[in-house]
Amino acid sequence: MIGRSLPVIPQPAPPAEAAPEYAARLRFLQSPAAHQGHAGVVAAVETIETHMSWVFIAGDHVLKLKKAVRYPFLDFSTLAAREHFCREELRLNSRLAPGVYLGLLALQQDDGGYTLQPEAQLPAPGHTVDWLVLMRRLPPQRLLDRLIAAGAVTREDIDALARVLAAFYRQAPVAAVSPPDYVARFRREMAVNRQVLLQPRFGLGDAAAALDGLDTALVRHAGLLLERAAGGHVVDGHGDLRPEHVCLQPPPVVIDALEFNPALRQVDPFDELCFLGLECELAGAPWIGPQLVAACAATLGDAPPAALLHLYTAYRAQLRARLAMAHLLEPQPRQPHKWAPLAQRYLQRSLAALAEVEATLRG
């Protein structure tokens, strides 16, 4: 899950979350016996670690445990905070993934060790030491990123997704953000982009040109952004609309809405759609974004200027370049060879989108 702010090294976890106790919790959750109550008999548990969570796949179910971490843009460092954001995750994902998020499980500890208790069965003999979100496992072969890799996405799939997204955006509440504040958010993110992408040790050849170009475009074409906010087109959206979060089952569902910071969900729907289109393009399906945008525009009766769509694409590409390089700021980055080439691709796409902004306006 990647938001708009720079991932940094997490601050130290509270003492209650220090190893070896926390390691014991993880060992329990990785054991098949832990999941018998909600998943039945499972042969093995697959474990996935992200910046913010541990994910446990057991049979037809998935559990997510939020890490006890603190970043500038989120704070999961207390048990109360993790419980709150687990509940927010359920609430927000009921909008685009009905029937997928099933409820909360309490991780309880007593003299006999650990147990997982459904919330409805509380209170129980132990005491709650953490909370997990329980989900129904989606068919992995129907995730959009995998379908793109297999060359198996159809135009009918994308039309179905567009219907789901358009209905969601039509009902989404308008965000309480003023037009000047909306524009200021882009400029603040650009300042952070510069801090990361211009570090001499990274040697990103296109970074300065892309950053300068987008800074100029945001000043020159700020009116496009101001009009969107003034017209009530900034809503409480998904916040992290990427192919790996889209499952093209009938009907399509979208998971992993950004729960930990409401401001990061305050988006123009077409900003999110351009983001998804950008990710699909870099994955090898450049046709998906334009089809999604056209279908949603027709359904919503809202056709933003082409220059604005290119501006959103340029901005999102630079944000993704920054987030890629931010991995190298971690003490032990995973796959360190991967991030600079990926960031370079995003920067090149941003430069192309900036050229399209100007060409569209001249035309």
Helix (H, G, I), strand (E, B) or coil at 234: coil
Token reading at 308: 């604005």
pLDDT tens sequence across 190-209: 999 999 999 999 999 999 99
Token reading at 323: 């987030």
What count of other Cβ atoms lies within 10 Å of the Cβ of residue 272?
Answer: 24
Residues near 142 by beta carbon (within 8 Å), at least 6 away in sequence:
247, 248, 249
Report the C-alpha gap between 361 and 347 in whole angstroms: 22
Which residue, among 37, 34, 64, has the nearest Cα to 52 in the 3D structure? Answer: 64
pLDDT at 11 over 70: no
Report the C-alpha gap between 363 and 342 in whole angstroms: 32
Report the C-alpha gap between 19 and 193 in whole angstroms: 34
Please tell me which residue, 140 or 51, carries the higher pLDDT value: 140
> What pLDDT does 245 receive?
98
pLDDT at 13 over 50: no
Report the C-alpha gap between 346 and 315 in whole angstroms: 10
The amino acid occupying position 38 is H
**Residues in the chain, how many?**
363
Which residue, among 170, 159, 348, 117, has the nearest Cα to 251 in the 3D structure? Answer: 159
> What pLDDT does 363 receive?
66
pLDDT at 361 over 90: no
> What pLDDT does 36 receive?
86
Which residue, among 136, 141, 55, has the nearest Cα to 90 in the 3D structure? Answer: 136
State the virtual CA torsion across 246, 319, 174, 179 in degrees, nearest 10: -160
> What pLDDT does 19 receive?
62
Whether 56 and 45 have beta carbons less than 8 Å apart is answered as yes
Mean pLDDT in residue range 338-344: 97
> Which 8-state DSSP code applies to residue 174?
B
- pLDDT above 90 covers what percent of the chain? 83
State the virtual CA torsion across 285, 286, 288, 294 in degrees, nearest 10: -170
> Which 8-state DSSP code applies to residue 125?
S
> What pLDDT does 5 receive?
38
What count of other Cβ atoms lies within 10 Å of the Cβ of residue 362?
Answer: 7
Q: Does domain 144-362 correspond to CATH entry 3.90.1200? A: yes
Q: How confident is the model at residue 37 (pLDDT cuts 50, 70, 90)?
A: confident
> What pLDDT does 61 receive?
95
pLDDT tens sequence across 160-176: 999 999 999 999 999 99
Report the C-alpha gap between 118 and 216 in whole angstroms: 53
Whether 92 and 110 have beta carbons less than 8 Å apart is answered as no
pLDDT at 9 over 90: no
Pairing of strands 266-267, 235-236: antiparallel
Q: Break the chain into its structural domains and give their ranges.
A: 15-137, 144-362
| Host H or E run for residue 254 | strand 253-254
Mean pLDDT in residue range 221-237: 98
> What pLDDT does 330 receive?
84
> Which 8-state DSSP code applies to residue 47?
E
Mean pLDDT in residue range 218-241: 97
